[in-house]
Amino acid sequence: MDITRLTAMEIREKVINKEISSKEVVKAHLNRIKELDEELNAFITITEEEALKAAERVDEKIKNGESLGKLAGIPIGVKDNIITKNVRTTCGSKMLENYIPPYDATVIERIKAEDGIILGKTNLDEFAGSYSTESSYFGVTKNPIDTERVPGGSSGGSTAAVKAHEVALALGSDTGGSNRQPASYCGIVGIKPTYGLVSRYGLVPLANSLDVVGTFGRNVKDATLLLEVIRGYDEKDPTSMEIEGSSYLEKLKEGIKGMKIALPREYMNMDMDSRVKGKVMETVKLFEILGGHVEEVSLPHVEHYWATYYLIVVSEISSNMARYDGVGYGYRTEDYDSLDELYIKSRTEGFGEEIKRSILAGTYILGSKEGREYYEKAFRVRTLIKEDFDKVFEKYDVILTPTTPNLPFKIGDSIKNPFEMYGSGIFNIPANLAGLCAISVPCGYVDGLPVGLQIIGDRFKEANILKAAYALEEELALGGENNGL
């Protein structure tokens, strides 16, 4: 039996039934990482020692007949912008290359409390600020399906690790598609929960009003399992909420008979890779067959998504990056004669190009009269976009869109054509702007490359998108196993 081929659910079951030990599971996955990660570069930090200790504790519990958590023995990767106590958290930046935090993010506490085993910290675009994982100070992560291509981003390390069976589950974060776009590019499931469903305490912010922690798995059930563990109110994050209702896992099998499904006309008419469009349209038909009612709807403000998102995201980035000043922690330049020089050189040397672009743009927007006018307008348009979705969700349960308008691009191409890269998140952005939940689920391959379907649901209606994704996954029986490594 190749342990790394097991699903998360299977691992838990076999560990609890003493078919395999937690330690065996960890070792098998660590070996897999050792075997592959030199090439893939999905991990920035591997926490071998801590993982083995955690596995021993789980095995000890089993030996003593103690009850076990929902994630017992499951190896998990954590995006390196999620704070881990005593384990360095770099955010993919030279700025935090040696930063070792003194606390755990709430999601980490919850994973540990449920006996999940963290194998390491995964690569990402610097501070999660791009779409290809190429802007990491720790080098580019390669797509396990085609190592000449990017895994997408910013959670590319997590999606590559899950796809390559280095871990069974992973955490990511999603500000404008950073969970869904790389999940699509790597042919796995990526969930972007409703803003407020999961505590952000300990997620290093890129843009606080858009960021959410999300989950990855090679199938819907696995990704849902991890979501179920991390969701819920946290007193440390006042924007988090407790949602009443039964477990998502129990609802997955309910099916989608009678589900009202919307297909946004404007999205499908946009410029996109015809192969992606073709695959998505095929998939939409499957939903009809599965008993859903699909209708075209209008989401008219699509041409304003990018500008609105950009104005908000760079403004919040410029504010959030202000704390990295070389004073209390993080990178400090070696040579400086004055306080100003300490700031300027530390920040110039510590930040990468992509994040600097955002800081400059955001500083201009917040610091100039013209910029502020744009900024305020962006907030008004954001409200309009929310209203577009509210209107659709009055009548429909879910919205289907391609996760991305394109297929995974080649490493280096984004530098030649940054707009193609930015454009890859266009269908993802509105769920962040409107605080909705969404999932990317694989819907097939074209020319050897994966296509993801995005299913968007109303705020706190995760059950709807998970049910729909699960029904599709069952029907397609892809299981995430038919391609790649």
Partner 1 sequence: MGYKTIVGLEIHVELLTKTKIFCNCVNEFGGDANTHCCPVCLGLPGAIPKLNKGALEFGIKAGLAFNCQISEWVKMDRKHYFYPDLSKGYQVSQDDNPLCRNGYVEIEVEEGLKRIGIQRIHMEEDTGKSIHTEGGDTLVDYNRAGVPLIEIVTAPDINSSEEARMFLENLRNILRYIEVSDCKMEEGSLRCDVNINVVDTETGKKTNITELKNLNSFKAVASAIEYEERRHISLLEKGENTAKETRRWNEVENKTVVMRDKGSADNYRYAVDVDVLPVVIEKEWIDEIRDSLPELPHQKKERFIKEYALPEYDAGVLTQSKELAQFYEETNKYAKDPKQVSNWVMGDVLRRLNDEEMEIEDLKFQPKDLADLLEFINAGKISNNIGKKVLREMFETGEKPEAIIKKKGLIQISDEGELEGIIEKVLDENQQSVIDYKNGKDRALGFIIGQVMKATKGKANPQLVNKMVRERIEKR
Positions touching partner 1 (CB under 8 A) are 82-83, 89, 91, 96, 99, 101-103, 105, 200-205, 208-209, 235-239, 315-316, 318-319, 321-325, 327-329, 339, 343, 363, 366-367, 375
Nearest CB to partner 1, comparing residues 320 and 406: 320
Nearest CB to partner 1, comparing residues 171 and 186: 171
Rounded CA gap, 251 and 196, in Å? Answer: 21
Active site residue 178: yes
CB of 242 to partner 1, least distance (A): 15
Instruction: Tell me which of 79, 121, 163, 277 is the catalytic residue.
Output: 79
Nearest CB to partner 1, comparing residues 306 and 375: 375
CB 129 within 8 A of CB 358: yes
Nearest CB to partner 1, comparing residues 97 and 237: 237
Active site residue 79: yes
CB of 185 to partner 1, least distance (A): 26
Nearest CB to partner 1, comparing residues 319 and 483: 319
CB of 332 to partner 1, least distance (A): 12
Nearest CB to partner 1, comparing residues 209 and 483: 209
The answer for residues whose C-beta is within 8 angstroms of residue 420's C-beta and 6 or more apart is: 406, 409, 413, 414
Nearest CB to partner 1, comparing residues 82 and 226: 82
Q: Reading across the β-sheet that carries 437-446, which strands appear in turn?
A: 43-46, 117-122, 75-79, 169-174, 212-217, 189-192, 437-446, 449-457, 398-402, 260-264, 293-297
CB of 90 to partner 1, least distance (A): 10
The answer for residues whose C-beta is within 8 angstroms of residue 272's C-beta and 6 or more apart is: 402, 405, 406
Active site residue 346: no
CB of 234 to partner 1, least distance (A): 9
CB 158 within 8 A of CB 125: no
Which of 349-352's residues contact partners 24+ apart within 8 Å by CB, and which partners?
349/94, 350/93, 350/94, 350/95, 350/324, 350/326, 351/93, 351/94, 351/95, 351/126, 351/321, 351/324, 352/93, 352/94, 352/126, 352/135, 352/137
CB of 356 to partner 1, least distance (A): 15
CB of 80 to partner 1, least distance (A): 11
Instruction: Tell me which of 130, 136, 158, 178 is the catalytic residue.
Output: 178
Nearest CB to partner 1, comparing residues 366 and 476: 366
CB of 456 to partner 1, least distance (A): 22
Nearest CB to partner 1, comparing residues 147 and 319: 319
Whose CA is closest to 130, among 420, 479, 328? 420
CB of 362 to partner 1, least distance (A): 9
Instruction: Tell me which of 154, 184, 240, 440 is the catalytic residue.
Output: 154
The tokens of 320 are what?
Answer: 């959030």
Query: Which residues are catalytic, by number?
Result: 79, 154, 178
